[in-house]
Amino acid sequence: MKQALLLFFFSIVAFSQKKTELIKSNHLGETREISINLPSSYESNPTKRYPVLVLLDGDYLFDPFQGALHYGEYWDDLPETIIIGIHQKNSRVSDCAFDEAQGTPTKRSAAFYNFIVEEMMPFAEKKYRLAPFRIIAGHDVTAGFLNFFLYRENSYFNAYISLSPELSSDMVSQVPTTLNNTKKNIFYYQSSADGDIKQLRQPIEELDANIKATAIQNPLVNYQYDKFNNASHYSLVLYSIPNALYQIFDSYKPISSTEFSEKIVILPSGYVDYLIKKYENSEQKLGLNNPIRINDFKAIEAAILKNKAYEELEKLSQLANKNYPKSMLADYELGLMFEKLGDNKNAANKYQRASQLEEIGDLTKEMMYNKYEDLKSLSVKK
C-alpha cells in the first residue's frame, strides 16, 4: 500500500511543472538557484494568497513534498501551497554548518541564513502571493540548521519539519526552552527510525524527551515525533512527509465521518457554533481565511436533523448567506427548517426563492422547484 501511494505521489509530480529562479546573493557572494512550484489555481485565482513551504535540500526533497501536497490537495485535506526548494547539492554542509563548541552558525552558514531571510524570502514575497504562514523542512544537517530560525525572538517560520536532524550539542536543551517560551503558534515535527544513523538517534531522542517534559505544556506548541520501524536514514523521509503535513494542516481538514460521529452528532446543541469555531481555529493557526466547505455545511445540517434541533437551521442559513450569498444554500436551509417545523407555506416560499438562485453542491433548481410544488400543494390542502 505504501509503495502504491509513493508511485501515486510521483505520478502526480510527473505531470506538474516547476520553475527555476536565480537570485544574486550579496550575503553569499554568488548566485543561488531555487525551484518554485505554484498551485494549480494560482493563475485562475489572482487574489488568493498561499502558505509557503521552504525546502532545504530542495534537490531531493522537492519532488516527494510536492507529490504529498498534491495528493492531499486533491482530496481537500491539505491546502494549496507554494513550494520553494533551495538547491544545495554541492553546498549543503557549508550552508548549514555550525560551530561545535559554541553551537552557533559558522560565518558561511550565517550568510546562508541571511540569504534566506533578507534576500530569498523578500524576493518571493514581492513576486508571488505568499500567505503569512511559513513552513521550513530539512534533512539531517539541514534539519539541524532550521532550528536557528526558531531561535529568533519572533520565530521566522510557523512550522518546522525536522527529518533525522543532526543537532548541535546545545540544541537538545535550547529548542525545548525556545518552544516553551514562544508567544506564537508553532508546529514542530521531527522524526527518526530504528535504522537511522546511530550518532544521530541519541540526541534526537533526548530532544524529544526534553520537549515532552517542558515545551509540550505550552498550548501554543503543536509537537509530534515519529520513530519509524524498518526504515533507514533515507527512507524515513518518505514516511515522515505525509505525517508532518497532516499534523501541521490538521485544522484545515474537512469534517470526517469520525469527527461527525465522535464530536459533532453527540453534542446536545451548538452544531453551528462548532462549525464556526472549526474554521476560526484554522484561520487563527494557519492564517487561512477559506469559505466553509459545502460538505461541512451538509454535515452540520445532518447533525441538526438527526437531533431534531431544527431551529439551528436558521443560524446555519445565516452562515450560508455569509459564505455563499449568491447561492440557494441559505434559502434552502430556511426552507428545510420551516418544512421540519410543519410550516409548509413558509417552506414553499423559501424553496421557491431558492429555485431562482445559483445552484451549489448537490442543490439544483429542479430540486428546489419540486420541493416548492410539493409543499405548496400540501399547504393548499390544509
Q: Could you state, in order of their start, the residue ranges of all structural domains in the chain?
A: 2-252, 257-381
Phi, psi of 19 (to 5 degrees): -115, 155
pLDDT the model gives residue 13: 47
Amino acid identity, position 111: A
Which CATH number is correct for 2-252, 2.40.50.100, 3.90.1150.10, 3.30.160.110, 3.40.50.1820? 3.40.50.1820
- Contact between 50 and 37 under an 8 Å Cβ cutoff? The reply is no
- Which residue, among 220, 337, 357, 200, has the nearest Cα to 272 in the 3D structure? 337
Instruction: Assess contact for 312 and 159: CB atoms under 8 A.
Output: no
E strand spans, the chain: 19-25, 30-37, 50-55, 82-86, 130-139, 159-163, 186-195, 221-232
Q: Are 53 and 83 in contact (CB under 8 A)?
A: yes
Quick one: how far is CA 291 from the chain centroid?
15
- Report pLDDT digits (tens) over 285-335: 998 888 999 999 999 999 999 999 999 999 999 999 999 999 999 999 999
Q: What is the DSSP letter of 102?
A: T
161 vs 6, residue with greater confidence: 161
| CA nearest to 56, candidates 139, 133, 120, 128 | 139
Q: What does the pLDDT look like over 55-79, one tens digit per residue?
A: 999 999 999 999 999 999 999 999 9
Q: Which amino acid is at 192?
A: S
> For residues 212-241, b (16+ Cβ closer than 10 Å) or e, as one string?
eebbbebeebbbbbbbbeebebbebbbbbb
User: What CATH class is the domain 257-381?
Assistant: mainly alpha
- pLDDT over 60 at 1, yes or no: no
